[in-house]
Amino acid sequence: MTPFHPGDTVRLTNEFLRNTGQVVGGEGFSRWTIVACPCTLCGSGRFVATNEASYDDPAQARHFYAGNLEQKGSA
């Protein structure tokens, strides 16, 4: 089960940004809000949906692996 709940504000962890070479750029400053999603990815508890549109399908929510996120506050 993911430690995040709808309404939580999250960001990418420093470790993830460092390991992927994203030490410069906007992703380190980005924040997202977790939204409810009934998909199988979110149902597994390993992924969460956010309030940003997916790059592949703007009608869908952008999903992140929960292990790459940290909570920055609650709604």
Read off the pLDDT of residues 32-49 as tens digits, 9 standing for 90 and up. Answer: 999 999 999 999 999 999
Domain boundaries, the chain: 9-73
User: What's the pLDDT score for residue 75?
Assistant: 40
Cβ-proximal residues to 17 (8 Å cutoff; 6+ apart), any chain: 23, 27, 28
Query: Strand order in 47-53's β-sheet?
Result: 61-65, 47-53, 32-35, 9-12, 69-73
In the block, which residue shows the tokens 């790059």?
Answer: 55
Tokens for 10, please give them.
Answer: 């999250």
Read off the pLDDT of residues 9-68 as tens digits, 9 standing for 90 and up. Answer: 999 998 999 999 887 777 888 999 999 999 999 999 999 999 999 999 999 999 999 999
- Nearest one of 67, 39, 73 to 54, comparing CA atoms: 39
